[in-house]
Amino acid sequence: MIKILIVDDSISVRQFFTEFFSREPDFEVVGCAEDGESALRMVRKLKPDVVTMDVNLPDYDGFVVTRLIMEQNPVPIVIISAVYSASDAELGFKMLDTGALAFHNKPAINDTFFNEKMAEIIMSVRLMSEVKVVRRRIKLKKKDALSLPEVPDVVEYKGKNTAAKIVCIGASTGGPQAVKQVLLSLPNNFNVPVLIVQHISTGFLEGMVNWLRENTGHNVKVVAQNEILQAGVIYFAPEDHHIQISSKRRVSLSEGPAVNGICPTIAELFSSAAENLGDRVVGVLLTGMGRDGADGLLDIRRKGGYTIAQDKETSIIFGMPGEAVKLGAAVSVLPLEKIGEDISRYVLESYGEER
Protein backbone atom coordinates (compact mmCIF):
# COMPACT_ATOMS: atom_id res chain seq x y z
CA MET A 1 0.00 0.00 0.00
CA ILE A 2 1.32 3.45 -0.99
CA LYS A 3 0.89 5.98 1.81
CA ILE A 4 0.29 9.46 0.39
CA LEU A 5 0.26 12.89 2.05
CA ILE A 6 -1.63 15.64 0.19
CA VAL A 7 -0.44 19.23 0.68
CA ASP A 8 -2.70 22.02 -0.66
CA ASP A 9 -4.12 25.22 0.81
CA SER A 10 -7.57 24.62 -0.71
CA ILE A 11 -9.92 22.41 1.30
CA SER A 12 -11.90 21.54 -1.83
CA VAL A 13 -8.74 20.41 -3.63
CA ARG A 14 -7.65 18.33 -0.63
CA GLN A 15 -11.04 16.65 -0.51
CA PHE A 16 -11.05 16.15 -4.25
CA PHE A 17 -7.56 14.56 -4.34
CA THR A 18 -8.40 12.43 -1.32
CA GLU A 19 -11.43 11.07 -3.14
CA PHE A 20 -9.53 10.33 -6.34
CA PHE A 21 -6.52 8.65 -4.71
CA SER A 22 -8.73 6.67 -2.33
CA ARG A 23 -10.40 5.06 -5.33
CA GLU A 24 -7.09 3.42 -6.19
CA PRO A 25 -6.66 0.05 -4.43
CA ASP A 26 -2.94 0.57 -3.86
CA PHE A 27 -3.17 4.07 -2.29
CA GLU A 28 -3.89 5.10 1.29
CA VAL A 29 -4.30 8.82 2.02
CA VAL A 30 -2.66 9.12 5.44
CA GLY A 31 -3.09 12.86 5.81
CA CYS A 32 -3.84 16.26 4.29
CA ALA A 33 -1.89 19.43 5.11
CA GLU A 34 -3.18 22.95 4.49
CA ASP A 35 0.12 24.76 5.00
CA GLY A 36 3.85 24.22 5.12
CA GLU A 37 4.17 23.86 8.89
CA SER A 38 1.52 21.13 8.92
CA ALA A 39 3.22 19.38 6.01
CA LEU A 40 6.57 19.27 7.79
CA ARG A 41 4.97 17.94 10.97
CA MET A 42 2.95 15.28 9.14
CA VAL A 43 5.94 14.06 7.12
CA ARG A 44 7.82 13.46 10.37
CA LYS A 45 4.88 11.79 12.11
CA LEU A 46 3.13 9.85 9.33
CA LYS A 47 6.18 8.85 7.25
CA PRO A 48 4.36 8.84 3.89
CA ASP A 49 5.77 7.07 0.84
CA VAL A 50 5.05 10.07 -1.38
CA VAL A 51 3.86 13.69 -1.01
CA THR A 52 1.86 15.81 -3.45
CA MET A 53 2.86 19.45 -3.06
CA ASP A 54 1.19 22.73 -4.03
CA VAL A 55 3.45 25.62 -5.03
CA ASN A 56 1.59 28.37 -3.15
CA LEU A 57 0.93 27.82 0.55
CA PRO A 58 -0.24 30.38 3.15
CA ASP A 59 2.86 30.30 5.38
CA TYR A 60 5.76 29.03 3.24
CA ASP A 61 5.86 28.50 -0.50
CA GLY A 62 6.30 24.99 -1.83
CA PHE A 63 9.96 25.66 -2.59
CA VAL A 64 10.81 26.22 1.08
CA VAL A 65 8.69 23.30 2.27
CA THR A 66 10.21 20.93 -0.31
CA ARG A 67 13.73 22.01 0.65
CA LEU A 68 13.06 21.46 4.35
CA ILE A 69 11.48 18.05 3.79
CA MET A 70 14.43 16.92 1.67
CA GLU A 71 16.90 18.17 4.27
CA GLN A 72 15.12 16.67 7.28
CA ASN A 73 12.97 13.70 6.20
CA PRO A 74 13.55 12.91 2.51
CA VAL A 75 10.51 11.53 0.70
CA PRO A 76 9.45 11.52 -2.99
CA ILE A 77 7.59 14.76 -3.78
CA VAL A 78 5.34 15.39 -6.80
CA ILE A 79 4.31 18.99 -7.44
CA ILE A 80 0.65 19.44 -8.41
CA SER A 81 -0.16 23.10 -8.78
CA ALA A 82 -2.14 25.49 -10.96
CA VAL A 83 0.11 27.44 -13.31
CA TYR A 84 -1.08 30.94 -14.18
CA SER A 85 2.21 32.40 -15.41
CA ALA A 86 5.78 31.50 -16.37
CA SER A 87 6.91 32.68 -12.92
CA ASP A 88 4.64 30.07 -11.30
CA ALA A 89 6.22 27.40 -13.48
CA GLU A 90 9.74 28.65 -12.72
CA LEU A 91 9.07 28.22 -9.00
CA GLY A 92 8.06 24.64 -9.73
CA PHE A 93 11.36 24.02 -11.49
CA LYS A 94 13.28 25.54 -8.59
CA MET A 95 11.51 22.97 -6.43
CA LEU A 96 13.06 20.29 -8.63
CA ASP A 97 16.45 21.71 -7.69
CA THR A 98 15.66 21.05 -4.04
CA GLY A 99 14.64 17.44 -4.64
CA ALA A 100 11.07 17.27 -6.01
CA LEU A 101 10.80 14.58 -8.68
CA ALA A 102 7.99 15.62 -11.02
CA PHE A 103 5.27 18.21 -11.49
CA HIS A 104 1.83 18.48 -13.01
CA ASN A 105 -0.53 21.32 -13.78
CA LYS A 106 -3.61 21.00 -11.57
CA PRO A 107 -6.41 20.08 -14.00
CA ALA A 108 -9.66 22.05 -14.02
CA ILE A 109 -12.80 19.99 -13.46
CA ASN A 110 -14.33 21.34 -16.69
CA ASP A 111 -11.25 20.37 -18.72
CA THR A 112 -12.22 18.16 -21.68
CA PHE A 113 -9.34 15.82 -20.86
CA PHE A 114 -9.79 15.95 -17.09
CA ASN A 115 -10.00 12.18 -16.55
CA GLU A 116 -6.96 11.53 -18.74
CA LYS A 117 -4.93 14.17 -16.88
CA MET A 118 -5.92 12.78 -13.47
CA ALA A 119 -4.98 9.29 -14.62
CA GLU A 120 -1.58 10.64 -15.68
CA ILE A 121 -1.09 12.31 -12.29
CA ILE A 122 -2.04 9.17 -10.39
CA MET A 123 0.35 7.07 -12.48
CA SER A 124 3.14 9.59 -11.93
CA VAL A 125 2.60 9.64 -8.16
CA ARG A 126 2.54 5.85 -8.12
CA LEU A 127 5.85 5.64 -9.99
CA MET A 128 7.54 8.40 -7.98
CA SER A 129 6.65 6.64 -4.72
CA GLU A 130 9.15 3.93 -5.68
CA VAL A 131 12.06 6.33 -6.26
CA LYS A 132 14.80 6.35 -3.64
CA VAL A 133 15.58 9.91 -2.59
CA VAL A 134 18.54 11.31 -0.67
CA ARG A 135 19.13 14.29 1.56
CA ARG A 136 21.52 16.15 -0.69
CA ARG A 137 22.27 16.32 -4.39
CA ILE A 138 25.67 16.89 -5.98
CA LYS A 139 25.42 19.75 -8.44
CA LEU A 140 27.65 19.87 -11.48
CA LYS A 141 29.49 23.16 -11.88
CA LYS A 142 29.65 24.85 -15.25
CA LYS A 143 33.44 25.00 -15.07
CA ASP A 144 33.55 21.18 -15.26
CA ALA A 145 32.37 21.22 -18.90
CA LEU A 146 34.75 20.56 -21.76
CA SER A 147 35.93 23.44 -23.91
CA LEU A 148 35.61 22.94 -27.64
CA PRO A 149 37.62 24.76 -30.31
CA GLU A 150 35.83 26.98 -32.81
CA VAL A 151 35.20 25.08 -36.04
CA PRO A 152 33.40 25.87 -39.28
CA ASP A 153 29.71 24.99 -39.51
CA VAL A 154 30.29 22.57 -42.39
CA VAL A 155 33.44 20.45 -42.68
CA GLU A 156 34.57 17.48 -44.75
CA TYR A 157 34.68 13.91 -43.49
CA LYS A 158 37.46 13.20 -41.01
CA GLY A 159 38.39 9.53 -41.10
CA LYS A 160 35.35 7.36 -40.38
CA ASN A 161 33.48 10.10 -38.53
CA THR A 162 31.15 12.57 -40.19
CA ALA A 163 30.95 16.05 -38.71
CA ALA A 164 27.96 16.17 -36.38
CA LYS A 165 25.25 18.61 -37.46
CA ILE A 166 22.72 18.35 -34.65
CA VAL A 167 22.10 16.86 -31.22
CA CYS A 168 18.52 15.63 -30.66
CA ILE A 169 17.40 14.87 -27.10
CA GLY A 170 14.17 13.27 -25.90
CA ALA A 171 12.99 13.17 -22.28
CA SER A 172 9.85 12.59 -20.25
CA THR A 173 9.33 11.86 -16.53
CA GLY A 174 12.36 13.15 -14.62
CA GLY A 175 13.53 14.91 -17.78
CA PRO A 176 13.90 18.51 -16.58
CA GLN A 177 16.54 17.57 -14.00
CA ALA A 178 18.28 15.24 -16.46
CA VAL A 179 18.27 17.82 -19.27
CA LYS A 180 19.68 20.42 -16.90
CA GLN A 181 22.61 18.21 -15.95
CA VAL A 182 23.36 17.39 -19.59
CA LEU A 183 23.33 21.07 -20.56
CA LEU A 184 25.59 21.96 -17.64
CA SER A 185 28.12 19.51 -19.10
CA LEU A 186 28.12 21.15 -22.53
CA PRO A 187 30.52 24.03 -23.16
CA ASN A 188 29.16 27.48 -23.97
CA ASN A 189 30.86 27.40 -27.37
CA PHE A 190 29.22 24.11 -28.35
CA ASN A 191 29.55 23.69 -32.10
CA VAL A 192 26.14 22.33 -33.08
CA PRO A 193 22.53 23.13 -32.21
CA VAL A 194 20.67 21.04 -29.64
CA LEU A 195 16.97 20.30 -30.20
CA ILE A 196 14.96 18.87 -27.32
CA VAL A 197 11.52 17.30 -27.02
CA GLN A 198 10.38 17.19 -23.39
CA HIS A 199 7.04 15.64 -22.44
CA ILE A 200 5.61 18.28 -20.12
CA SER A 201 2.27 19.45 -18.76
CA THR A 202 0.74 22.35 -20.68
CA GLY A 203 1.77 25.71 -19.25
CA PHE A 204 5.18 24.68 -17.92
CA LEU A 205 7.41 24.99 -21.00
CA GLU A 206 8.13 28.71 -20.82
CA GLY A 207 9.04 28.39 -17.15
CA MET A 208 11.34 25.47 -17.92
CA VAL A 209 13.10 27.42 -20.67
CA ASN A 210 13.62 30.41 -18.36
CA TRP A 211 14.87 28.14 -15.56
CA LEU A 212 17.39 26.40 -17.82
CA ARG A 213 18.59 29.66 -19.36
CA GLU A 214 19.20 31.09 -15.90
CA ASN A 215 20.89 27.99 -14.49
CA THR A 216 23.00 26.62 -17.37
CA GLY A 217 24.46 29.70 -19.03
CA HIS A 218 23.22 28.55 -22.45
CA ASN A 219 21.01 30.39 -24.91
CA VAL A 220 17.79 28.38 -24.43
CA LYS A 221 14.60 29.12 -26.39
CA VAL A 222 11.44 27.63 -27.86
CA VAL A 223 11.91 26.95 -31.56
CA ALA A 224 9.72 28.69 -34.16
CA GLN A 225 8.15 27.46 -37.39
CA ASN A 226 10.65 27.39 -40.31
CA GLU A 227 13.52 28.44 -38.04
CA ILE A 228 16.98 27.33 -39.19
CA LEU A 229 18.85 25.95 -36.18
CA GLN A 230 22.06 27.71 -35.23
CA ALA A 231 25.13 26.31 -33.48
CA GLY A 232 25.38 27.14 -29.80
CA VAL A 233 21.63 27.44 -29.22
CA ILE A 234 19.47 25.03 -27.21
CA TYR A 235 15.99 24.70 -28.74
CA PHE A 236 12.82 23.18 -27.29
CA ALA A 237 9.89 21.91 -29.31
CA PRO A 238 6.79 24.03 -28.49
CA GLU A 239 3.82 22.65 -26.62
CA ASP A 240 1.19 20.77 -28.64
CA HIS A 241 3.23 20.72 -31.86
CA HIS A 242 5.01 17.81 -33.47
CA ILE A 243 8.41 18.70 -34.87
CA GLN A 244 10.52 17.60 -37.80
CA ILE A 245 13.95 18.70 -39.02
CA SER A 246 15.09 19.02 -42.64
CA SER A 247 18.47 18.33 -44.22
CA LYS A 248 19.20 22.07 -43.92
CA ARG A 249 18.33 22.04 -40.20
CA ARG A 250 15.09 23.90 -40.89
CA VAL A 251 12.25 23.21 -38.44
CA SER A 252 8.76 22.17 -39.47
CA LEU A 253 6.00 22.27 -36.85
CA SER A 254 2.55 20.71 -37.07
CA GLU A 255 -0.36 20.75 -34.62
CA GLY A 256 -1.41 17.35 -33.20
CA PRO A 257 -3.10 15.04 -33.11
CA ALA A 258 -1.48 13.50 -30.06
CA VAL A 259 0.06 10.05 -30.51
CA ASN A 260 -0.76 7.81 -27.54
CA GLY A 261 -1.66 10.99 -25.68
CA ILE A 262 1.67 12.66 -26.49
CA CYS A 263 2.35 15.84 -28.48
CA PRO A 264 5.07 16.57 -29.42
CA THR A 265 6.52 13.10 -29.83
CA ILE A 266 10.21 12.34 -29.60
CA ALA A 267 9.72 9.70 -32.30
CA GLU A 268 8.83 12.23 -34.98
CA LEU A 269 11.90 14.37 -34.29
CA PHE A 270 14.28 11.41 -34.18
CA SER A 271 12.92 9.76 -37.32
CA SER A 272 13.00 12.97 -39.38
CA ALA A 273 16.56 13.71 -38.18
CA ALA A 274 17.63 10.19 -39.16
CA GLU A 275 15.99 10.47 -42.57
CA ASN A 276 17.32 13.93 -43.44
CA LEU A 277 20.64 14.18 -41.60
CA GLY A 278 21.67 10.53 -41.28
CA ASP A 279 25.07 9.95 -39.72
CA ARG A 280 25.37 13.61 -38.75
CA VAL A 281 22.91 13.17 -35.87
CA VAL A 282 23.64 12.57 -32.20
CA GLY A 283 20.49 11.12 -30.62
CA VAL A 284 20.00 10.99 -26.85
CA LEU A 285 17.11 9.36 -24.97
CA LEU A 286 16.76 10.25 -21.31
CA THR A 287 14.55 9.12 -18.43
CA GLY A 288 10.84 8.75 -19.06
CA MET A 289 7.70 6.63 -19.00
CA GLY A 290 6.59 4.59 -22.01
CA ARG A 291 8.57 3.95 -25.18
CA ASP A 292 8.37 7.18 -27.17
CA GLY A 293 11.65 7.74 -29.02
CA ALA A 294 12.97 4.17 -28.80
CA ASP A 295 12.20 3.31 -32.43
CA GLY A 296 13.38 6.75 -33.56
CA LEU A 297 16.70 6.27 -31.78
CA LEU A 298 17.08 2.99 -33.66
CA ASP A 299 16.42 4.87 -36.92
CA ILE A 300 19.29 7.22 -36.09
CA ARG A 301 21.65 4.33 -35.33
CA ARG A 302 20.70 2.52 -38.54
CA LYS A 303 21.59 5.66 -40.50
CA GLY A 304 25.03 5.78 -38.89
CA GLY A 305 24.33 8.42 -36.24
CA TYR A 306 25.66 8.24 -32.70
CA THR A 307 23.08 7.24 -30.07
CA ILE A 308 23.03 7.38 -26.28
CA ALA A 309 20.52 6.04 -23.74
CA GLN A 310 20.54 6.97 -20.06
CA ASP A 311 21.22 3.96 -17.84
CA LYS A 312 18.76 2.37 -15.42
CA GLU A 313 20.62 3.37 -12.26
CA THR A 314 20.37 7.13 -12.92
CA SER A 315 16.97 7.20 -14.67
CA ILE A 316 14.01 8.17 -12.52
CA ILE A 317 11.96 6.01 -14.91
CA PHE A 318 13.83 3.59 -17.19
CA GLY A 319 10.89 3.21 -19.60
CA MET A 320 11.97 5.02 -22.78
CA PRO A 321 15.72 4.42 -22.53
CA GLY A 322 15.07 0.85 -21.42
CA GLU A 323 13.00 0.18 -24.55
CA ALA A 324 15.77 1.67 -26.67
CA VAL A 325 18.34 -0.60 -25.03
CA LYS A 326 16.14 -3.65 -25.71
CA LEU A 327 15.99 -2.70 -29.40
CA GLY A 328 19.75 -2.28 -29.64
CA ALA A 329 19.19 1.37 -30.51
CA ALA A 330 21.89 2.76 -28.21
CA VAL A 331 25.55 2.79 -29.15
CA SER A 332 26.29 3.85 -25.56
CA VAL A 333 24.31 3.35 -22.34
CA LEU A 334 25.61 5.86 -19.83
CA PRO A 335 24.93 7.28 -16.36
CA LEU A 336 23.46 10.77 -16.50
CA GLU A 337 26.61 12.48 -15.26
CA LYS A 338 28.59 11.09 -18.23
CA ILE A 339 26.16 11.92 -21.05
CA GLY A 340 27.00 15.59 -21.61
CA GLU A 341 30.71 14.84 -21.60
CA ASP A 342 30.21 12.01 -24.08
CA ILE A 343 28.20 14.23 -26.43
CA SER A 344 30.96 16.83 -26.31
CA ARG A 345 33.64 14.21 -26.91
CA TYR A 346 31.86 12.75 -29.91
CA VAL A 347 31.14 16.13 -31.52
CA LEU A 348 34.73 17.24 -30.95
CA GLU A 349 36.15 14.04 -32.45
CA SER A 350 33.74 14.17 -35.39
CA TYR A 351 35.41 17.43 -36.40
CA GLY A 352 38.80 15.73 -36.35
CA GLU A 353 40.08 17.45 -33.20
CA GLU A 354 41.84 15.70 -30.35
CA ARG A 355 40.31 16.00 -26.92
Q: What is the average pLDDT across 128-151?
A: 54
Is the link from the previous residue into 187 a cis peptide, with omega within 30 of 0? no
Q: What is the average pLDDT across 124-145?
A: 66
pLDDT for 120 equals 87
| Domain at 143-350, CATH from 3.40.50.180, 3.40.50.300, 3.90.1150.10, 3.30.1330.10 | 3.40.50.180
Q: Say whether pLDDT at 35 is over 90.
A: yes
Q: Say whether pLDDT at 295 is over 60.
A: yes
Q: Which CATH class is domain 2-128?
A: alpha beta
What's the pTM value of the predicted model, to 2 decimals?
A: 0.84
Confidence of residue 154 (pLDDT cuts 50, 70, 90): very low
Cα–Cα distance, 8 to 62 (Å, whole number): 10
Q: How far apart are the first and last CA of the chain?
A: 51
Sketch the domain layout of the chain as residue ranges. 2-128, 143-350
- Determine the longest span between alpha carbons in the chain, in angstroms: 66
Highest mean pLDDT among 52-66, 100-114, 136-150: 52-66
Highest mean pLDDT among 85-99, 118-132, 273-287, 341-355: 273-287
Cα–Cα distance, 34 to 205 (Å, whole number): 28
Confidence of residue 280 (pLDDT cuts 50, 70, 90): very high
Query: In this structure, how many other beta carbons lie within 10 angstroms of the beta carbon of residue 319?
Result: 19
Q: Say whether pLDDT at 140 is over 80.
A: no
pLDDT for 98 equals 85
pLDDT for 213 equals 94
pLDDT for 159 equals 35
Q: What is the average pLDDT across 320-327?
A: 96
For β-strands 241-245 and 251-255, DSSP reports them as antiparallel
Q: Say if residue 112 is exposed, middle or buried (CB neighbours under 10 Å; 0-12, 13-18, 19+).
A: exposed
Active site residues: 172, 199, 292
Cα–Cα distance, 249 to 165 (Å, whole number): 8
Q: In this predicted structure, which of 13-17, 44-48, 116-120, 164-168 has the lowest mean pLDDT?
A: 116-120
Which has the higher per-residue pLDDT, 157 or 144?
144
Cα–Cα distance, 5 to 45 (Å, whole number): 11
pLDDT for 146 equals 36
The predicted-structure confidence for 71-103, as pLDDT tens digits, reads as follows: 999 999 999 988 766 676 777 788 888 889 988
Q: Say whether pLDDT at 69 is over 90.
A: yes
Q: Say whether pLDDT at 218 is over 50.
A: yes
Q: Say whether pLDDT at 145 is over 50.
A: no
Q: Percent of the chain at pLDDT above 90?
A: 69
Highest mean pLDDT among 131-135, 140-144, 240-244: 240-244
